[in-house]
Amino acid sequence: MKKIVVLCCLYFFGLNFVFAQKFGYIDSEYILSKVPEYAKAQNEIEQFSAAWQKEIEEMQRKVDGLYSMYQAEQVLLTEEMRQERQTEIKKKETELKDYQKKVFGFGGLYFLKKQELIKPLQDKVFDAVSKVAKANRLAIVFDKAAELVMIYTDPRHDYTDFVLEELGLGDPNDKVK
């Protein structure tokens, strides 16, 4: 009999705990768009990206030029000279691919620069979200802008404005979506 009473108590208290959890969501893209430093960081990242892309295009033009010269002179070259040119072209293509990986690959310069400039801003937003979640006793906070698909969202669970207030960036009446 005691087991049944204990199980019933655990069952009801367990259900109460599940139903007592509060949740909310934010729109991190909207929040970051309100952070002035974010626009500057994005602009700086785009400038670096454009410069790196220009370098890659220049390297590609050189490889294409070498290949065109090889195609034009191929019939006049000895077998040894053809091998040298092909080796040179392959070497330049490998250098190009390595540089592309170094810049735009996983963990490349682009990734590192983006992390260097944007991560502090994301951390600042995360801290504000954490404070809002604790102040409103939220167990879970979703990000509407992330990969999570939210089919329907009730505006009363939207804590984006609270996070903006915590960051000192927002007038809740200014929100246009």
With 0.75 as the threshold, say if the pTM is over it.
Answer: no
The confidence score (pLDDT) of residue 174 equals 60
Average pLDDT over residues 124-130: 87
Structural tokens at position 19: 């139903």
Q: Using the structure block, give the residue that is written with the tokens 């092909």.
A: 86
- Tens digits of residue pLDDT in 84-114: 999 999 999 999 999 999 999 988 999 999 9
- Rg of the chain over all Cα atoms, to the nearest angstrom: 28
Sign for the CA dihedral angle at 93, 94, 95, 98 comes to positive
- Record the tokens describing residue 11, joined without a space: 């069952």
Domain residue ranges in the chain: 21-174
* pLDDT-based confidence at residue 58 (cuts at 50, 70, 90): very high
Query: Are 66 and 92 a contacting pair, CB within 8 Å?
Result: yes
Q: What pLDDT is recorded for position 171? A: 67
The dihedral region occupied by 137, where left means phi > 0, alpha psi between -120 and 50, and beta the remainder, is left
pLDDT in tens, 131-162: 888 888 888 888 888 776 554 556 777 888 88
Q: What is the C-alpha to C-alpha distance for residues 69 and 62, in angstroms, rounded to an integer?
A: 11
Q: Locate tokens 């994005």: which residue?
A: 42
Give phi and psi for 174, each to the nearest 5. Answer: -90, -5
Q: Give tens-digit pLDDT for 5-54.
A: 444 444 545 544 445 577 888 888 888 888 889 999 999 999 999 999 99
1 contacts: CB under 8 Å, gap ≥ 6: none
